[in-house]
Amino acid sequence: MGKYIFAILGFSLWVGGLLAQEPISPLPLKPTYNPALAALGQRLFFDPILSKDKTVSCASCHDPAKGGADGRERSEGVGKVLGGMNAPSVFNAGFNFSQFWNGRAASLEEQALGPIQNPVEMNLALSEMIRRLEGEPSYQEAFVQTFNPGPLTPQKVALALAEFERALVTSNSRFDRYLRKEIALSEKEQKGYRLFKGLGCVSCHNGRLVGGNSYQKIGVVNPYPWFQGQADLYALTQKESDKNRFKVPSLRMSADTAPYFSSGEIGTLEAAIAAMGYYNLGVTLDQDQIENLVAFIKSLKGETPAILEAQ
Ligand code: HEC
Ligand code: HEC
């Protein structure tokens, strides 16, 4: 009999332990990356030489001072051409389970050469990119030092850019410090976190990115307008059920990345939260709830990555 009681007690403690586990986990305090490779990637990331008319760099649309995004509804590429989608933050992108709003690139390496060739972004042929980089002795030297002697290839450019992005981790946010039991949250942040869990936001926005690990629809409860030409899963699969289905964005930097949603059509964090409540959970949030959720989302923002401090 005693044996059973202990078994049941043990089992309940185990379940209790699982339940007590937080649905959000902290970002690593120190990102792991190869410093020489990341430094080369950093130079490339900020260099407009990678665009056709030498006016646009990766940082034009992923500006560290703008939360790793560009503050625009839709991005502006070379020749001031508008793209179709809102630029997501590059901060913490290395932890996304796939890249782009519809996950069409599996890794940062696979993603990196896309914007360089994209006609509405940097519009540069890879052969021309290589010619330009080979024409700069300091790049020649940096590539040889980083990769050993050998031809300068697009793949090496992709590896360097991806390594720099892996260094862009915003560690040590107030929320992470709370998770590590170093500080207490303010009352508003606490209320916001409780709402975030209680309302069900956390069913889609969870893990260390508070998103970035599943594909979900916008318009689960109340239908959300769909338009042709957006980068949803439908663009890849042509399946009706994939319309308005996106990789759930990370909320880690959302405090700084207005406007919101893949369309960029929502101007403020307050409005994005209200829209999420209405379209995805079927609730009309009041002003107080929205303010608390804003405070919680702001607590997710971490520190400037060390690699940028050194700049
Ligand atoms: C003209 C603006 C623009 C430029 C220049 C640009 N990007 Fe982007 N970036 C975007 C947009 C818009 C998206 C989302 C596109 C989509 O999902 O279809 C994006 C998506 C990304 C993503 C995926 C993030 C995520 O959460 O899925 C990464 C990583 C990224 N860009 C890195 C880069 C790198 C590296 C460069 C330079 C080689 C670059 N970008 C140049 C606008 C730009
Ligand atoms: C059913 C899954 C799901 C639920 C539940 C959900 N979200 Fe979202 N959330 C998404 C998806 C998908 C997007 C991207 C929509 C788009 O880009 O069109 C998103 C986008 C957002 C954005 C904008 C981020 C950006 O960078 O553009 C915020 C902020 C947000 N959600 C907060 C919340 C809050 C707060 C709740 C709870 C009230 C919530 N979400 C509930 C799936 C969900």
- pLDDT band for position 311 (cuts 50, 70, 90): low
**Which residue, by CA, sits nearest to atom 3 of ligand 2?**
204
The structure tokens listed for 304 are: 């400037």
Phi/psi for 154 (5° steps) reads: -55, -35
pLDDT in tens, 243-257: 999 999 999 999 999
pLDDT at 18 exceeding the cut of 60: no
Distance of CA 124 to the CA centre of its chain: 25
| Residue 129 identity (one-letter amino acid) | M
* Percentage of the chain modeled with pLDDT above 90: 89
pLDDT in tens, 162-173: 999 999 999 999
Distance of CA 289 to the CA centre of its chain: 25
- Among the atoms of ligand 2, which is closest to the Cα of residue 269? 29
Residue with token string 């957006």: 230
**Which residue, by CA, sits nearest to atom 8 of ligand 2?**
276
Angle at the Cα of 41 (from 140 to 303), degrees rounded to 5? 150
pLDDT at 19 exceeding the cut of 70: no
- Among the atoms of ligand 2, which is closest to the Cα of residue 283? 38
pLDDT in tens, 134-186: 999 999 999 999 999 999 999 999 999 999 999 999 999 999 999 999 999 99
- Among the atoms of ligand 1, which is closest to the Cα of residue 74? 12
Mean pLDDT of 104-119: 96
**Which residue, by CA, sits nearest to atom 2 of ligand 2?**
204
Ligand 1 mean position, distance from CA 113 (Å): 10
The structure tokens listed for 20 are: 């007590």
Ligand 2 mean position, distance from CA 99 (Å): 17
Query: Ligand 1: which of 109, 111, 123 to mutate, most ligand atoms within 8 Å of CB?
Result: 111
Q: Tell me the CA distances in angstroms from 236 to 99, 100, 105, 242, 254, one per residue in order.
A: 14, 12, 11, 9, 26
pLDDT of residue 84: 87
pLDDT of residue 6: 55
pLDDT of residue 21: 86
Ligand 1 mean position, distance from CA 88 (Å): 7
Ligand 2 mean position, distance from CA 90 (Å): 18
Contact predicate 108/93, CB 8 Å: yes
The structure tokens listed for 16 are: 């209790």
